[in-house]
Structure 1
């Protein structure tokens, strides 16, 4: 056989190889690998039927794992919930409680009992406030980590983050996560990823639990102490302070000024429906100070709709709590906060906000419509269980009340009125020009310095 003949036979073989596309070559390689694996399994004593069963089991396991956070979000978007709740078109993009609850049945079987209990507390508003929700969440995460068992053929650093994601996704069904909770979750997942693969599960759990304890102490307890010490300089003897709702750090501030600094001041607590958080502030102050409360603090309780200009004339300073501080210097807080800040600004009353750095967010928001939380509109409707006040009964008259009975309560049949929508939003946005100072653990700073604090927080 001459060299010319060999070359002539080699050329068609080369052209045949060139004809095969990349996809076809990949398929050939896959088939060859599959054939090798099948041959190895047959050699080890596994029949083709057993191989099929093993493959089917793997497919089923993959299907079970598909109930992750991303898939649940897709399910939420696809679900069509039949409800007669009416939401204005302007707020139609916000998620309702029913839409959040749509995800809970699919993953409830893998959720820790402590998470189930906490979700119920969130949804019933027995745990309110971003700091209280954050503290409770981290303490429950400690229980989840302690009871966690790493499955076979996986490591704690890889599997625990996914396991926590399921718990967090169920937690969202009660109420959306606050900014402080989101920051803490990102921190915890980063700490899990830093744990070495060689570390035993027991040791890794101990490390994570101790880090959670340190986080609570540093970012909540010590931060609040520094804020209280800094803010107390703005309260003097005989001054009149106005606050809105309830904030944990403000409660500690008023107790500190009364107990440790022996300051006597007037406190005007402004409150609003439906949560009436100002009442919890009064209860907690009376518990902390007891019989000495009247000796130090003179409390005036006012509803937001009856806050008149005569009350604001005597106010020396306004202290506000915060749900979050956005990077453009705007305050995201309980609805009604913006109105108090604006009213105080027009009367040249200084407005101070006490906020921990854990509540600072990179987000930028210009209004309270794009991102907010929708609560149940029924909370704003007068229910049968709620008794009318004595003054209201006297104003209405007993005869009229007997005629109307309890069935004719105002807005009882509001759903039947097509043109009427009842909206219960949780938060509003206060522009930075209405806030004089933000008191953090890093000091008292203007709202324009929020990006600086965010940068410092990230570096630490």
Structure 2
């Protein structure tokens, strides 16, 4: 219940924006546009336990988002529309990458903004900013890190001095946004890497799950510092992010072992430390990360292997979350339906043929309901420490960090 209450502000904004976009989607469907080869009824798309979450929308909705963004009556900046479509198509992933891209777009939005006559910069820019945020939220649900960055930008715009010339006010806004981007994300990530390096020794076997930019930088920095260690990359379907990460690390001369999540209990016997990235950390110490991270942490705890979560403090959230059901994000279910399978030599099917589960279970989806969750919740007892730009903290210290941030303004 706590996770839903904490995100109530953004949820209200999403509910306010969603109907108009959905109406455009309905109009487009009535007009005979066929954007998807498989049309599934709404009841078949939803699973009752997760019906309260924003459902993954079809490609037709992305087309209507594009139409809404470039409509003559729209005042959205082209950079906002481009970023929203990148979010909806999954071209930008990761909390840091999405937040950095959003702040860069906000800087461009402020630079290109001109105050209309008989209006003030603070009020009119706040309205335009709200419309941009609603559009991004309609394209893909906002992450906690993006929400914290949005709160900071909104506060800057609202508190902009009325008597200040427009050019100076815009320059101050851009400088303040750039400060948050540099200090809270980029320099904070560098501090996390430097703190994590103190925990790596020669002969270590370091395991990570999925891909996190901070964890990749930790491994690269440890190699450049001359430490001798081995990396174990644990991957899972359908994204299989570690395949590209494996190529990058091997190209830099690291010793890498690649395995799937199903083999983590076997490979954990060799591991000395686990480094995992996080989407955000709740006030009660729950770490929300890529779906499967909690299972890796549980296996590590059973094998008495320390689990270190790499997370900047701007990803800390005041919400309290006990599970991954009340608050989560539904990814594209078709990613699970369409898999590349290796077929036996004696089979009539060609090896690595694109194989669709829908072809076996009917295109209507009556026999098959798919659930592709993006995140899971790691209990605080599975987390040995959280490595932040402030140092290495226990999960119980998250409320103190949040309290200091509120007092600092």
Q: TM-score range by the shorter chain?
A: 0.7 to 0.9
Partner SS, residue 93 of structure 2: coil
Q: Which residue of 1 aligns with 2:332?
A: 376
* Aligned counterpart in structure 2 of residue 161 of structure 1, from 121, 126, 130: 126
What are the Cα deviations for residues 311-363 of structure 1, in whole angstroms up to 9, with x where unaligned?
11110000110000000100011100000000111111111101000000011
1:445 Cα deviation after fit: 1.0
The answer to whether the 8 A contact 1:325-1:361 is kept is yes
- Normalised to the residue count of structure 1, the TM-score between the two structures is 0.76
Q: In structure 2, what is the Cα distance between the partners aligned to 1:125 and 1:162?
A: 27
2:142 matched residue in structure 1: 177
Query: Is it true that 1:223 corresponds to 2:188 in the alignment?
Result: yes
Aligned length: 375
Q: Aligned to 1:72, which of 17, 21, 24? A: 17
2:373 aligned to which of 414, 425, 450: 425
More helix by share: 1
Distance of 1:113 and 1:444 partners within structure 2: 41
Partner of 1:86: 45
Shift in Å, 1:77 = 9.0
Instruction: Give deviations 1:106-126, integer Å, cap 9, x for gaps.
Output: 555222111111112212222
TM-score, L = length of structure 2: 0.85
- 1:79 Cα deviation (Å)? 9.6
Asked if the contact 1:76–1:102 (Cα under 8 Å) also holds between the matched residues in 2, the reply is: no
| In structure 2, distance between residues paired with 1:219 and 1:328 | 22
State the SS of the aligned residue for 2:376.
strand
User: Structure 2: which 5+ runs fail to align?
Assistant: 1-12, 27-38
CA RMSD of aligned residues (A): 2.6
Partners in 2 of 1:322 and 1:69 — Cα distance? Answer: 24
Structure 1 residue 449 displacement after superposition: 0.9
- 2:164 partner SS: coil
Alpha-carbon distance, 1:443 to partner = 1.1
Alignment of 1:282 onto 2:231: no
Structure 1: distance between partners of 2:138 and 2:269: 44
Give the whole-Å Cα distance in 2 for the aligned partners of 1:413 and 1:156.
58
Change (3 A) 1:77 1:127: closer
Q: Secondary structure at the match of 2:338?
A: coil
Name the CA shift for 1:406/1:352 in 2 (closer, same or farther; >3 Å).
Answer: closer
Name the residue aligned to 1:322: 278
Give me the whole-angstrom Cα distance separating, in 2, the residues matched to 1:410 and 1:200. Answer: 61
Higher relative contact order (CA 8 A, sep 6+): 2
Change (3 A) 1:298 1:90: same
Q: Where does structure 1 lack aligned partners over 5 or more consecutive residues? A: 1-67
Alignment of 1:359-438 (within 5 A): 359-382=315-338, 386=340, 388=341, 392-393=342-343, 395-398=344-347, 400-401=348-349, 409-414=356-361, 415-416=363-364, 418-438=366-386
Partner Cα separation in structure 1 for residue 93 and residue 405 of structure 2: 25
> Are the equivalent residues in 1 in contact too, given 2:18–2:138 (CA < 8 A)?
no
What SS class does the counterpart of residue 368 from structure 1 fall into? coil
What are the residue-to-residue correspondences of 1:34-433 with 2, within 5 Å?
71-73=16-18, 75=20, 83-84=40-41, 85-98=44-57, 104=65, 105-106=67-68, 108=70, 109-259=74-224, 261-286=225-250, 290=251, 293-294=252-253, 297-309=254-266, 311-382=267-338, 386=340, 388=341, 392-393=342-343, 395-398=344-347, 400-401=348-349, 409-414=356-361, 415-416=363-364, 418-433=366-381
For the pair shown, which has the larger CA radius of gyration, 1 or 2?
1
